[in-house]
């Protein structure tokens, strides 16, 4: 088969798409098919290698649940989710459409987002069990609309790892929603909670993602960060992360999610700070983090 026409074969596969396929499928799938075929040919992939890749994805699917998305984690390691996130963020600018230049930068969702977390009152803590020796943080700020005005009743979803580097979904022995909570902004667009100062941690490398990292001879660590999911009617949902400036791995995040605009400073608690009841001797830092949304 030395004279096999690979280009004609790729064209044949692309042309097999039926007339009833959606316009978006007709636009995107030929690009995907052509690029994948080009990769397979250029890398001279063997059947054994291709099946190994398929098995990696099968395992990722089998491990995934509503508490952990191993498939997303695999794409994170390859920089895919961060690239798609950047495409979303720059789409208006690239297409010459009106955009809000003050809008907060987005970042990847990651594999440990959980839907349906109960909304709690502003000023309450998302720390569900005592974390001895851990630096507690007063986290607060204002959500602004596309015109820069405070946005009441916006939903602010917050989650981060515990001092052991694990999320609640990874530690069933800990209280439900530990280091995770949802809030509604008040009439002044403010949210307010007590959380921890996050710590760097390794992404889970016990299954598919770990196998891929080992193949690539890469470390699994992420810098210390806090996740946010912020939504309000008439505005784009903002999914982002903020990163501790003092953290390791800012320049070599294993999932390539760090953006300079999202690096923040955790400041020492002021001397006159009035800590919530029961937390008087635990408060160490404060972080005011405001966000600016874009119109839908």
Share of the chain above pLDDT 90, in %: 78
103, 106, 200 from 251: Cα distances, Å: 23, 18, 13
Q: How far is CA 147 from CA 100, 184, 259, in A?
A: 8, 20, 24
What is the C-alpha to C-alpha distance for residues 73 and 165, in angstroms, rounded to an integer?
16
Residue 33: both structure tokens together? 């098919």
- The mean per-residue pLDDT over the stretch 149-170 comes to 95
Say how far apart CA 233 and CA 190 lie, in whole Å: 16
Q: What is the CATH code of the structural domain delimited by 80-292?
A: 2.60.130.10
Give the model's pLDDT for residue 62: 95
264 and 288 Cβ atoms separated by less than 8 Å = no
How much is the pLDDT for 2?
63
Sign of CA dihedral 169, 170, 175, 181: negative
* DSSP assignment string, the chain: -TT--HHHHHHHHHHTS-TTS-HHHHHHHHHHHHHHHHHHHHHT--HHHHHHHHHHHHHHHHH-BTTB-HHHHHHHHTTHHHHHHHHHHHHHHHTT----TTPPPP----TT--TTPPB--TT-BS--S--TT--EEEEEEEEE-TTS-B-TT-EEEEE---TTS--GGG-TTSPTTTTEEEEE--TTSEEEEEEE----EEPP-SSHHHHHHHHHT---EE--EEEEEEE-TTBPPEEEEEEETT-TTSSS-TT----GGGEE-PEEPPTT--PPTT-TTTEEEEEE--EE--B-
| Nearest C-alpha neighbor of 193 from the set 134, 269, 93, 124 | 124
pLDDT averaged over the chain? Answer: 93
Q: Looking at the DSSP assignment, which residues form a beta bridge with residue 227?
A: 159, 241
Question: How would residue 285 be classed by pLDDT, with cut points 50, 70 and 90?
Answer: very high
Every domain of the chain and the residues it spans: 1-45, 80-292
**Greater pLDDT, 47 or 99:** 47
Output the pLDDT for position 68. Answer: 85
pLDDT of 94 over the 90 cut:
no
Q: How far apart are CA 148 and CA 102, in angstroms?
A: 8
Torsion of CA 19, 24, 25, 27, to 10 degrees: 90
To the nearest 10 degrees (0 to 180), the angle between helices 23-43 and 6-15 is: 160
Residue linked to tokens 């987005």 = 106
**What is the residue whose two structure tokens read 């987002």?**
113
Mind listing the pLDDT tens digit for each residue in 95-142? Answer: 776 667 789 999 999 888 999 999 999 999 999 998 888 999 999 999
Q: What is the pLDDT of residues 238-275, one digit of tens each?
A: 999 999 999 999 999 999 999 999 999 999 988 888 77
Measured distance CA(43)–CA(105) in Å, rounded: 36
Q: Tell me, what's the pLDDT at 13?
A: 96
What are the φ/ψ torsions at residue 289 (nearest 5 degrees)?
-130, 105
Q: How high is the pLDDT of residue 1?
A: 53
Is it the case that residue 50 has pLDDT exceeding 70? yes
pTM beyond cutoff 0.85: yes
Q: Over 90: is that where the pLDDT of 56 sits?
A: yes
User: Does residue 47 or residue 95 have the better pLDDT?
Assistant: 47
First to last CA, the chain: 53
């Amino acid at each position: 088969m030395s004279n096999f026409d690979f280009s004609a074969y790729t064209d044949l596969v692309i042309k097999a798409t039926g007339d009833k396929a959606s316009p978006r499928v007709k636009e995107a799938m030929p690009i995907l098919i052509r690029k994948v075929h080009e990769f397979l040919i250029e890398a001279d992939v063997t059947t054994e290698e291709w099946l190994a890749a398929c098995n990696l994805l099968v395992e990722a699917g089998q491990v995934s649940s509503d508490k952990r998305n191993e498939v997303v984690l695999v794409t994170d390691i390859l920089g895919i989710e961060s690239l798609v996130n950047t495409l979303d963020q720059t789409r208006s600018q690239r297409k010459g459409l009106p955009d809000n230049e003050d809008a907060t930068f987005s970042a990847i969702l990651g594999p440990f987002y959980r839907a349906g977390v109960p909304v709690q009152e502003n000023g309450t803590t998302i720390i569900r069990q005592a974390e001895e020796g851990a630096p507690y943080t007063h986290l607060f700020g204002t959500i602004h609309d596309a015109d820069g005005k405070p946005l009441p009743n916006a939903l602010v979803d917050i989650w981060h790892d515990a001092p052991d580097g694990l999320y609640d979904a990874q530690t069933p022995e800990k209280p439900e929603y530990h280091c995770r909570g949802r809030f509604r902004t008040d009439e002044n667009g403010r949210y307010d909670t007590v959380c921890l100062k996050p710590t760097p941690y390794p992404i889970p490398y016990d299954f598919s993602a770990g196998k891929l990292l080992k193949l690539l001879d890469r470390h699994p660590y992420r810098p210390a960060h806090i996740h946010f999911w912020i939504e309000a009617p008439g505005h784009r949902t903002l999914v982002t992360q903020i990163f501790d400036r003092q953290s390791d791995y800012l320049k070599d995040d294993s999932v390539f999610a760090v953006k300079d605009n999202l690096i923040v400073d955790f400041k020492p608690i002021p001397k006159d700070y009035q800590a919530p009841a029961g937390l008087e001797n635990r408060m160490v830092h404060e972080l005011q983090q405001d966000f600016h949304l874009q119109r839908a």
